[in-house]
Amino acid sequence: MTALVALAAPGTAAAAISELGASATPPVPSCPARPCFAASRTTGYQAKVGDQRGLYVVPANGRIVAWSITLADPGARQTAFFERQFGGAASARLTILRPGRKLYARTIASSPVRRLESYFGETVQFPLERSLGVRKGWVVALTVPTWAPALAVGFGNDVSWRAASRSSGRCTDLETQVPQATGGRIARYRCLFRTARLTYTATLITDPGP
């Protein structure tokens, strides 16, 4: 009699890839239309798009390996105005936040700053030489040290994004907007800007799991 032995295949551990902030219809940033809008001197993340919330909340532990940004194509006079007003050439970076209570969040890590003027009118992806570790529930935000033509406008009140601010009631005062890039810093994301959307995404690879 022949004995038959079945060998069970070991379980497969697989990572998942997702694009935080992606949507079926990518938003189109303002400029060179008039008025031309840009994000400036701040760290922010999208709070809501219609009935969708948490577009930039990390769904599982993993690593951010790249980020993308869709840029408007401001004219020469518009670009000169923003550079003069906000301290230089357009630039941005990714920032990882660990949210707490009452809209407070701690800065955990940031990617290198990237100059943007060479990519006006395009969607560009920046791979990270050193990926950023993230945990479930953390938030991936966009930090703009100067300015960035990465703001789509003209939506309804059910579209909004949040930004860090030094003091209550001064969200429209650009001098009080503070980019968050230093690890360990805590800021309150009390400023809510309606009818607009930040035009960036982040590529997440989750830790392998069954």
Q: What CATH code is carried by the domain that includes residue 133?
A: 2.60.120
Asked whether residue 27 is assigned to any structural domain, the reply reads: yes
Range of the domain at 168: 18-206
Asked whether residue 158 is assigned to any structural domain, the reply reads: yes
Rounded CA gap, 66 and 77, in Å? 31
Give the count of domains, the chain: 1
Asked whether residue 197 is assigned to any structural domain, the reply reads: yes
Asked whether residue 85 is assigned to any structural domain, the reply reads: yes
pLDDT for 2: 43
**Arithmetic mean of pLDDT, 142-152:** 96
Asked whether residue 4 is assigned to any structural domain, the reply reads: no
Asked whether residue 49 is assigned to any structural domain, the reply reads: yes
Instruction: Give 170 or 143, the one with higher predicted confidence.
Output: 143
pLDDT for 168: 62
Are 66 and 125 a contacting pair, CB within 8 Å? yes
Per-residue pLDDT for 148 more than 80? yes
Per-residue pLDDT for 9 more than 60? no
Asked whether residue 90 is assigned to any structural domain, the reply reads: yes
Count of residues in the chain:
210
Are 106 and 98 a contacting pair, CB within 8 Å? yes
**Dihedral of alpha carbons 165, 167, 170, 173, sign:** negative
Asked whether residue 156 is assigned to any structural domain, the reply reads: yes
Are 203 and 15 a contacting pair, CB within 8 Å? no
**Arithmetic mean of pLDDT, 70-80:** 96
**Arithmetic mean of pLDDT, 75-102:** 95
Tens digit of each residue's pLDDT (9 = 90 or more) over 91-116: 999 999 999 999 999 999 999 999 99
pLDDT for 179: 80
Output the average pLDDT for the chain: 89
Among candidates 108, 87, 69, which has minimal Cα distance to 187?
108
Instruction: Give 176 or 116, the one with higher predicted confidence.
Output: 116
pLDDT for 12: 64
Q: 19-33, 35-49, 132-146: lowest mean pLDDT where? A: 19-33
Among candidates 167, 166, 164, 173, which has minimal Cα distance to 192?
164
